[in-house]
Structures are given as structure tokens and as C-alpha cells.
Amino acid sequence: MTTHTPVRATPPVTAPVELDLEARLAIVDAIMAARIDRAGLAFDINTAYISAAPPVEIAAPLPLTPTAAPDPYTTPIAGTLQRARGRIMQDGWCRDAIFDEAGAICPIRAIRLEAASRGQADDACVFLLDVIRAELPSVETIPSWNSDQTSAAPVLRYLDRAADLAHARLI
């Protein structure tokens, strides 16, 4: 006697529904609105016990022009290197020239502009080169090292590191 097993019907395979950009944006908007509402509620709950502080009165309007931060370094070379870093952040960084038409400058020009004398600028440049060579012994000059950089970040980092080290050595 042969037994026959019943054949089960399989549901038809359908392709997933492809949503257009507007539908996807609407879904994401709804999800983000729910998250923002939940975060606002959590903030209200977490700060409910804090009493409100009285509003602060400002006697005079604050100046709109930024003021220079006080120099954190008392040694001349460290101060020069730190101010040179600030100058590059303010004016912009230049890679293959002393300065460019937009006003961006290289590290050597920044040091020369911020130094009190030519000798102080030379000492700061020599010290910066020594700090760079401590990690990268193959570097020959600051301009050649500067040309190898792809952004201002390493330049700013080494100027900061050199200023910290000069301050620690009291030079």
C-alpha cells in the first residue's frame, strides 16, 4: 500500500516593495520626530527637580569682535610658537609658498610675523624643526615637511607640541 503525503501550497514569492525617496524621507521623519519627543520627555523628567534660576542681566552688550586670548606661555619661544599657531588658524594654512593670494601663510611666515625679533623667529623655527625631527628624522627643512602635509592639522599639532615643550624647557 502506498501512502501519499499531501502537498502543501507555498505562498507566492513577491519582490520587496521599492519605496521612492519621498516615502523613505517620510518614514525617517516620523522616526526622528518620535525620538525627539522621547528625548524631550526624558529631559523634562530628568530636570524636573531642578529649580529655575533667575535670569541673568547683562549690563553692557558683549563686544562683537573677538579679543585675543591671553598668552598661556611666559617663555618667548613658546609664546611665539603658540601665537604662530593662532595666526595660521586665523589667516589659513598655505602649503607650497610663504603665503598665497587668499592670505593663508606657512608656518615659517607665521613664526616670523609673531616673533619679537629676527633672532627669536630663527630660534623658534629651529626648535620647531627639532620637535618635528624627534618623530620624523628624515625631515630636512620645515618647508619640505610643510609641503608634504595634506591639511593644516599636523602643522597646528606640531606647533602646539613645540610650544608645550618650549614652555616645559623654559626657552
Tens-of-pLDDT digits for all 171 residues of the chain?
566 666 666 777 777 778 898 999 999 999 999 999 999 888 888 777 767 667 767 666 656 555 555 667 778 999 999 999 999 999 999 988 899 899 999 999 999 999 999 999 999 999 999 999 999 999 999 999 999 999 999 999 999 999 999 988 876
Listed in order, strand segments (DSSP E) in the chain are none
Residue 70 burial (CB count, 10 A): 6
Residue 104 burial (CB count, 10 A): 17
Q: Kindly report the CA angle at 70 between 155 and 77, in degrees rounded to 5?
A: 50
pLDDT computed for residue 44 by the predictor:
82
pLDDT computed for residue 60 by the predictor:
65
Instruction: Please state, in angstroms and rounded to a whole number, the distance separating the CA atoms of residues 130 and 161.
Output: 11
pLDDT computed for residue 164 by the predictor:
92
For 63, phi then psi, to 5°, come to -70, 145
Cβ atoms of 84 and 110 within 8 Å: the answer is yes
| CA dihedral over 150, 152, 154, 159, signed as positive or negative | positive
Instruction: Please state, in angstroms and rounded to a whole number, the distance separating the CA atoms of residues 28 and 23.
Output: 9
pTM for the predicted model, two decimal places: 0.59
- Residue closest to 84 by CA, chosen among 170, 166, 163: 163
Q: Is 105 helix (H, G, I), strand (E, B) or coil?
A: strand
